[in-house]
Structure 1
Amino acid sequence: MKLLGRNQSLLTHMLDTLSSAKEIEFVRAPSMHVFLCMCLSKNVIVTHFTYMQNSALVHRGLPQLESSELCIFCCQRAASEKQLHRRIYQMQVTVPATGFNSFNYSFSNLCLLDDKNVCIIDDIIRAMEEIQSARNSNRSVPVLRYPITQLADGRQAYIGHQMGGVQGWGPGGAMRVQGMGVRGEGVRSARALQLTYYLQAPGGLMDRVASQWEKAFCAELQHFTELHPKLGLYPSTSSSLRTDFQFSSVLARRPLLASLGVCGVLVVLCCSMRDCVRSKPWLGLLALLSITLSGLTAAGILNLTGATYNSTYLGIPFVMLGHGLFGSFEMLSSWRRTREDQHVKERVASVFEDVMLRFSGSTMIHLMTLGLAASPLTNMEAVRLFCRTAALAVTISYVYMLSFYSSCLVFTGYLETGYRHGCFCRRVPKPDRLDSKPAWYRCLMYTRYQEETQVTNPPHGIGHTHTPNPDLTHTHTHPHPHTMNNPAVRGHAHVANSTHPHPHPHPHPHPHSTASMDPHPQDSHLLLGCVRRCYGDWITNTYVKPFVVLLYLVYISFGLMGFLQVTQGSDPSALVAMDTATVLYTRAQQRYFSSYSPVIGFYIYESAPYWNASVQRDLLEYAKGFQRISWLEAYLNYLSDRNQSTSQPRENFTRTLRHAFLREPQFAHFADDIIFAERGQGEEPDVAASRIFLVAKTTENKREEMSVLLDTLRRLSLTSRVRFLIFNPSFVYLDRYAAAVSSPLRHSLLAVLFLLGLSSLAVVEPLVSVWLGLTLLSVQFGVLGFMTLWGVELDCMSVLCLISALGHSADCSGPLLCGFAAGRGESRTRWVRVALERHGVPSLQTLICYGAALVPVGSIRSNLTRTLFRCLTLTAGCSALHTLAFLPTLLTFLPPSKSRGHGPGGEGQRQEVECVEMNDSTRVVDQITTV
């Protein structure tokens, strides 16, 4: 419900003392009323009246400038407005639509009534009716003033929010543009008019009738626009914001399907390689299917629990997509690092040992951030609903990854063991049988058999010679004592993992190049080959590091510049679809009705000596500079006009106020603004409380000026002799929105830091948690700063994206940090390259698919999805910069160190483990291990 005029400034907790009974009913039951507004604007230049360009409503403020052309134009525009108003009054809806009990309801049956049981209408309509009546009776036309005019009954009425684009008369009949005149200047023309119709819907049948009347109202305005194409109509009803907010989901259906298709294509490409057996395109599609099924499961659970859907949930699929793709690519990368001569069960066990600790940790970060943002500590219902649903979706996605996707990995592993094609599942012939096939067939069926690998790369033996049995496969591992006892290393098989393709996978690899670890580097994945042979050496180059550090300083500088310009997004139209009724109406309001602030209620809540001259001066000084409707100022003028002193004794001051001033017809409405408290019998009562209405002049930066005005008046209320407070419904929004928007982000960030601090006590290398925490802070700082520079305000949707950015950046950078910190020996540069190969490539694949899935979202004509697209794009970009550029460079010269943690014997003491596997037709029968 939106309140205009005097009703807009009612203070909720002072209703019992400052409002009449009907006003109490009006404010305390906001759900019982339906707010309808329309804004009329003419955007076509009237060429044959050069002095009346762009005028929708014209009023003759000066009689000496009267002309026939001006009168004709005025009558045409006024006739259109009166015709529309009459059609709205006469419009009827039938409820129920059919049946004997049907009844026709018009506006008179639904309107909100005043004290005289008359429908409440805008004062501008009364003023225009008085002007038209005077013109019809050939009487002197009353002057319409702006923003406060005087009606025929002598009452002053504020019409600043009912007329827009006003031009007044200047000296000598010159035209004065809007906002440049003095108080009460005569109106020459107005480009816009805002009419408000109040309905009462006490529930039940009347609620349904009011809803039907709203629909008929919008249909009537659309029909009227077709009849008058030069007149722009912008309706807004009580359901417009909800309808336009949900319309974003309707617009996003096809782009979301396109995102799924684009992501599916890229996932297939990222899982494919030249070797047709080791290529796993179906595994990529199954990963996407796993994410989709988890989303459908979460949606089904929400439906079963009775939860409702809203458009902010459009961000949840991307939270699931980023987290699910990270887990699937990490598992696939770990699978490709396992030994191919092992059984599928052992390879899957190695994958789980390698990946699941990190994947579970990142899932915990997601759940911690979302869970705390969904807790009662957050006072924004939209944030709580989103985070609650996202936490449920992430949990289900994690379960699907452990069950469904892992089963798919086992299935494709058996296909690989049987040398079946990755796409067609057909057994691939051996090379000697492919020689007679065409070239395209040989290219399509290219693979490497295990016999080729054994011949090309015979097993290494260190310290002994072993003659293998043809049916036996030998593997030698040489872990250090500290490696065997290091839980961090055992928990990360990518550092000390006996399943690495290289025969010596202990944490001190041979000092030859990384490419030599792969027997066929040309058969590796394209991205892995690029990172292994090109990017890893380039990013760790001594001459590149200074430029990367400089780039990070530029990143921080621009992020700080945007951070200092963060603005609170308090405009509801930023969360709805574009080109909707809400956006058009809000745009028209900002264009034509932004010259004045909302009506501010100035409440004096204690008995004050109003008869005292110093108190009168203070109150008049407080209201100075405002457009105001003040009973005190009107009463003092009333006394002055009658040659009475304004400084009278209390009894005389109060007696004249009650029995003379408030009984005048033009001042009778001030009775609602004054509350009297009885004293003793026979004594005049005191003025216990009163109110004054103020309106401030504003410019385009209306929200910022309102915040400054609010702070100024509040500071003044603390030092004033007269105890007062100021209130407007928008002040509640401005006060609570800043805390409401920032609190979930602050809580989530604290939750992540707490979780990382707690985890640092349980691992051997606490610097991993320190680096991860700094990375999350840096990514969050950059996203917040760059989104401000991109024109995104800090509203509900952007805060939700910032909360999800914490988990996404942890997914990308966490494995890289763990892989680097767990290694011992060698140089920093060496371990940075290894970490990039093993974990940078899965992160890059995730970011590529994730970024491509965001592209169709950017084409949706919605402010909500535009904010979603920009924030998530910045999240992916900042995470990519940190994972692939900043961290690999900074880790080459910053802690943790790579030279500590050796056992007492150093390189001289080793444990040699010989594992002999007995192979037959069933692949692996038994395993004999000797130490």
Structure 2
Amino acid sequence: MGCYARYEEGVSNFFAKYGVFVSKYPWPILIFAILTNILLGIGLMQLKSEGSTEVLYTPMNSQASKDRGKARQLFTLDYKENFDALSQIEISQPVDVMFRTKSEENILQKKYFDEIKAIDAFIRQSISVQSNVTFDDVCARFQGFCVVSGESVIADSFLDALNRDEVTFPVYVMNDISLHLGDARSRNGTLKSTRLVRLQYNLLIKNDTSALWEREFIDQMTDYQSSLLDIAISTSQSLDIELDSNVSGDILWISLTFTIMLTYASLATTGNRINCIADRSNLGRAGVLATVLAILGSFGLTSATGLKYVALVGVMPFLIVGIGLDDVFILLSGLADAPLVRPDGSETDIKDRISFAMATSGVSISITSLTDFLAFGIGSSSSFVAIRNFSIYTGVAVLICYLNQLTIFVPCMVINERRAASSRHAFTCMKTKSREELKNEGKSSVSQVCCAGSPAKSSAEFDNFSQKYPTKFCQFLVGNVVGKIFIAAVFVVYLCFSIYGSINLQEGLELKNLVSDNSYLYKFNLWDNLYFDRRTPVAFFYDTPIEYHLQENRNEIISFMRKIRADPLISSTIERNWLQAFSDSPQFNSSTEAAFVEGLTHFLRFRPDLANDIAFDASKTAIIASRFHFMSTPMFSTTEEGHFMQTMRKLTSSSKFSVFAYNPYFIFYEQYVEVFPATMQTLGIAVGVMLVVTTIFMPNIFLVAMVTVTLIIILLGIVGFMYYWDLTLSSITMVDLIMTVGFSVDFSAHICHAYMSVTGKTRGEKVHHALSRSGGPIFNSALSSILGIIVLIFSKSYIFLSFFKMMLIVMLFGLFHALWVLPLFLSLIGPMVTGEVGHERDRQLENDVEKLKTNTKEDLPLKETGEGINDVNDKRKMTSSGDTTSEGNVITIKL
């Protein structure tokens, strides 16, 4: 016996012994497992959630977060007295309101300005919380006035200047008005028209009252109606609120999913004819129950550890249902293959059948569960909190689901077989009789259909349309030359599309696109993208003390500023440079550092807008840090924003002094540059781990290579077709890619393991038998997973929709490779090593089969029940297919 055969037999014997053990004590094992899952579920009482988009979808310990920490130590912003939008260290989105005329004409007209002013007054005065807290009580202020960015463009003086053709664009009276006028048109630098006006109401941050005012603003402004204007709004809380509400609403689909899965599992496990005793549909429902309990137990166990629930975890139940039913169909396939009679005609007992099922299927479900568990284990090391928490929650669920199959579903298999052996009805558990007996007793046709049955006489009775016909089609396609050419042609087309899509796939997650298209925030984001340039301010921080009075130091700073202006990503029209402004003022004095600081202090009294750009020491006699502000040119994608951040950081390396580039939104830009290397690293590790796992369970170099190459090709296809389905490589789709690693290995491992386990004189014969063994379970597993997620096509959540798209892709591609591509290659170049038995056992098997074929019905012992002739005829039908294996002294004859 070869090395592989000895290894395979050793692992199979372990599961066979476990099958014997469960056959002896099914009820104690089942009750203990169910109680354990329920006790674990109690941990749900400790469930806590995390909904911050910054925390969830930006990498931990990124360079931007470190730069923010340094900026916090150097500068503080007084939101109550000296607020300045450019000087913010924290991400602080204002309450944002856009106005557009209903006719979409030029909004720079008095009637529209009057309407905007009326709405502005409503926001300031009528929206209140805690009885009398209005915007004036929660606004950020500058020199005593609430800061509303853009209010200058709705002033009467602005409209008068516009009528005189005196409004310059994009900068007017030292203000960049392009930030507040959407789709503006100018001629010779003079503003002529615009379609939108934008006002931004700045609030105090980290203030509970201002947060309440924001929510009240959302409630009132989403219902506000204007006769002249369309309005779009956004607040700092909008994305978090909308994301949570979308996902929470979509959780309702889970109940429908479980209903679909229960129905399908019941139908897929029903035999090819009505037999109320041999019926195994209860096992399909038991498999779903084991999966549901796994979800409950995993949620409870993980919550009890203090790990926070994140929105992404909402898709976990859909995923686990598919994984759980995959295991169920594999185990049921093994049970269906279990011999019902021995060569001498006597019945095999339940212990032998369960032992056989575990010996043939235990390795398969272990491979799939282990690969899925390790895939999510790798994902748990991600720098993205959303991915890490999702991977931990789902990895624990996969592990508990696997254990539940062994401790809940397998005992249910034993109990069901005991019921069938005692001729009890599948639903009532009452003793019943065969159809012939009920007919002889004069029972009605309805009674004969609903109540009659008998123990199964052959494995053919368990064949189901969902397994039989897809398998036969694949066998036909792979088994002839035309079919092979067709598969090869489809595969080449698949590769071409996959490569093109992968090359053109965009990176980065547009967090604002996470909302549904019927959300008020979707409208705001749409207008923002259509009518306003996508520009980013950036500040360059000198974070160490510098003697600014020295000419050489100022020259160094001026030279560095010149390099920044020269960069093509920096706008030439907008810059805030306190040093240049001070140098041009009459207060400038560079005789000594003390004189420089004294003159600067006096200068800032006239330019308080620049006071936030200089940090003095405690004695106000030395400058410990300063910053300079620039604006980017328009950008059109997240990739460009990530590139802008990296370019600004590279510029700092040319400075003689310590300097770093920072903008609060660099925190989000980090994902645009980190998601690709993080994904490639994670996928690379995952592929390596899957390689090791496959080697352990299938120690055949050729098949390990086949599984690995198939995994890589499937991943290539998934990444490529993301492009065609308008998905980007992001922290959310990265989760889906990690998930697909396990599924991709599952499909290919099943068919390769089956190929090594069956016997056959030619490669084509082995492939035919491998498809007979695993084709049905693979098809059922994929179909059940697709049915489980199909309801998500109606989802409002980007997270659920992207999950649906990715799962559908991986299921279809997994089926394509497992049932078409891999069988094609195995039929051409597959190894001819026999995995399940050695040569001696093969020869013994052939002798046993030949004996069965030549025996007459007088030679075989007949049962006294009168069913012996049917038994013999069944054996003869079974042996005619020629697909046989042996297990000790038991012959398994597969259709």
TM-score relative to the length of structure 1: 0.74
Q: How does 1:240-279 map to 2 (within 5 A)?
A: 240-277=238-275, 278-279=278-279
Contact 2:604 2:611 survives alignment (8 Å): no
CA distance in 2, matches of 1:238, 1:572: 13
Deviation at 1:784, TM superposition (A): 1.4
Identical counterparts, % of pairs:
16
Do the aligned partners of residues 397 and 446 (structure 1) sit closer, same or farther apart at CA in structure 2, a change above 3 Å counting? same
Partner residue of 2:407?
A: 403
Q: How does 1:410-429 map to 2 (within 5 A)?
A: 410-420=414-424, 422=426, 427-429=432-434
Deviation at 1:412, TM superposition (A): 2.1
1:353 matched to 2:359: yes
1:80 matched to 2:89: no
Contact 2:423 2:454 survives alignment (8 Å): no
Partner residue of 1:697?
A: 633
Q: How does 1:20-39 map to 2 (within 5 A)?
A: 35-39=93-97
Q: Helix, strand or coil: the match of 2:172?
A: strand
Partner residue of 1:746?
A: 681
Deviation at 1:105, TM superposition (A): 2.0
TM-score relative to the length of structure 2: 0.76
CA distance in 2, matches of 1:596, 1:744: 27
1:149 matched to 2:206: no
CA distance in 1, matches of 2:120, 2:384: 39
Q: How does 1:67-146 map to 2 (within 5 A)?
A: 73-74=109-110, 76-91=111-126, 93-95=128-130, 104-114=132-142, 116-122=143-149, 124-126=150-152, 128-129=154-155, 131=157, 143-146=166-169
Partner residue of 2:378?
A: 372
Match for 2:613 among 673, 683, 694? 673
Partner residue of 2:872?
A: none
CA distance in 2, matches of 1:770, 1:589: 50
Deviation at 1:186, TM superposition (A): 3.4
Select between 882-891 and 690-699 the one with higher mean Cα deviation.
Answer: 690-699
Deviation per CA, 1:484-510: give whole Å up to 9, x if none: xxxxxxxxxxxxxxxxx6xxxxxxxxx
Which amino acid in structure 2 is aligned with residue 211 of structure 1? A
1:651 matched to 2:678: no
Contact 1:828 1:898 survives alignment (8 Å): no
Partner residue of 2:742?
A: 807
Which amino acid in structure 2 is aligned with residue 294 of structure 1? A
Which amino acid in structure 1 is aligned with residue 361 of structure 2? V
Contact 2:501 2:719 survives alignment (8 Å): yes
Deviation at 1:365, TM superposition (A): 1.3
Deviation at 1:717, TM superposition (A): 3.5
Q: Helix, strand or coil: the match of 2:516?
A: coil
Which amino acid in structure 2 is aligned with residue 417 of structure 1? A
Q: Helix, strand or coil: the match of 1:146?
A: coil
Q: Helix, strand or coil: the match of 1:358?
A: helix
Deviation per CA, 1:172-199: give whole Å up to 9, x if none: xxxxxxxxxxxxx333333223322233
Deviation at 1:392, TM superposition (A): 1.9
Deviation per CA, 1:62-115: give whole Å up to 9, x if none: xxxxxxxxxxx42x22222222222222246453xxxxxxx632223222333x
Partner residue of 1:626?
A: 572
Decide which structure has greater helix share.
Answer: 2
1:343 matched to 2:341: no
CA distance in 1, matches of 2:152, 2:192: 18
Contact 2:547 2:593 survives alignment (8 Å): no
Contact 1:276 1:421 survives alignment (8 Å): no
CA distance in 2, matches of 1:311, 1:392: 17
Partner residue of 2:214?
A: 214
Do the aligned partners of residues 211 and 760 (structure 1) sit closer, same or farther apart at CA in structure 2, a change above 3 Å counting? same
CA distance in 2, matches of 1:92, 1:543: 72
RMSD: 4.5
Q: How does 1:384-403 map to 2 (within 5 A)?
A: 384-403=388-407
CA distance in 2, matches of 1:449, 1:105: 77
CA distance in 1, matches of 2:116, 2:552: 44
Deviation per CA, 1:14-58: give whole Å up to 9, x if none: 45546666699999999999744222222422xxxxxxx6223x1
CA distance in 2, matches of 1:430, 1:678: 98
1:13 matched to 2:39: no
Partner residue of 1:381?
A: 385
Q: How does 1:254-653 map to 2 (within 5 A)?
A: 254-277=252-275, 278-302=278-302, 304=304, 308-340=308-340, 341-375=347-381, 378-420=382-424, 422=426, 427-431=432-436, 434=439, 524-530=463-469, 533-593=472-532, 595-604=533-542, 609=551, 616=558, 619-620=561-562, 622-624=564-566, 625-631=571-577, 635=581, 638=584, 650-651=590-591
Do the aligned partners of residues 661 and 166 (structure 1) sit closer, same or farther apart at CA in structure 2, a change above 3 Å counting? farther
CA distance in 1, matches of 2:421, 2:153: 88
Deviation per CA, 1:176-225: give whole Å up to 9, x if none: xxxxxxxxx333333223322233365xxx51x333312322233245x3
CA distance in 1, matches of 2:86, 2:627: 19
Do the aligned partners of residues 673 and 26 (structure 1) sit closer, same or farther apart at CA in structure 2, a change above 3 Å counting? closer
Deviation at 1:851, TM superposition (A): 1.3
Contact 2:758 2:769 survives alignment (8 Å): no
Partner residue of 2:105?
A: 54
Contact 1:131 1:142 survives alignment (8 Å): no
Q: Helix, strand or coil: the match of 1:600?
A: strand
CA distance in 1, matches of 2:790, 2:132: 51
Partner residue of 1:481?
A: none
Deviation at 1:143, TM superposition (A): 4.3
CA distance in 1, matches of 2:358, 2:364: 10
Deviation per CA, 1:772-824: give whole Å up to 9, x if none: 22222222221111112211111222111111112222332222111112345
Contact 1:792 1:867 survives alignment (8 Å): yes
Which amino acid in structure 2 is aligned with residue 85 of structure 1? D
Contact 2:535 2:632 survives alignment (8 Å): yes
Deviation at 1:444, TM superposition (A): 6.6
Contact 1:279 1:422 survives alignment (8 Å): yes
Extract unaligned runs of 5+ from structure 1: 46-52, 59-72, 96-102, 151-155, 172-184, 454-500, 502-517, 922-927
Q: Helix, strand or coil: the match of 1:200?
A: coil
Q: Helix, strand or coil: the match of 2:539?
A: strand
Equivalenced residue count is 782
CA distance in 1, matches of 2:313, 2:593: 61
Which amino acid in structure 1 is aligned with residue 591 of structure 2? E
CA distance in 1, matches of 2:613, 2:752: 67
CA distance in 1, matches of 2:420, 2:409: 16
Q: How does 1:891-906 map to 2 (within 5 A)?
A: 891-898=826-833
Partner residue of 2:344?
A: none
Q: Which has the larger radius of gyration?
A: 1
Contact 2:435 2:452 survives alignment (8 Å): no
Deviation at 1:831, TM superposition (A): 0.9
Deviation at 1:860, TM superposition (A): 1.6
Which amino acid in structure 2 is aligned with residue 778 of structure 1? I
Which amino acid in structure 2 is aligned with residue 125 of structure 1? E
Deviation at 1:265, TM superposition (A): 2.7
Extract unaligned runs of 5+ from structure 2: 1-51, 55-64, 341-346, 853-859, 866-887, 891-895
Partner residue of 1:491?
A: none
Deviation at 1:883, TM superposition (A): 1.0
Contact 2:83 2:141 survives alignment (8 Å): no
Q: Helix, strand or coil: the match of 1:578?
A: coil
CA distance in 2, matches of 1:190, 1:610: 46
Contact 1:40 1:233 survives alignment (8 Å): yes
CA distance in 2, matches of 1:27, 1:231: 27
Which amino acid in structure 2 is aligned with residue 131 of structure 1? S
Match for 2:731 among 786, 793, 796? 796
Match for 1:194 among 180, 194, 198? 198
CA distance in 2, matches of 1:882, 1:788: 20
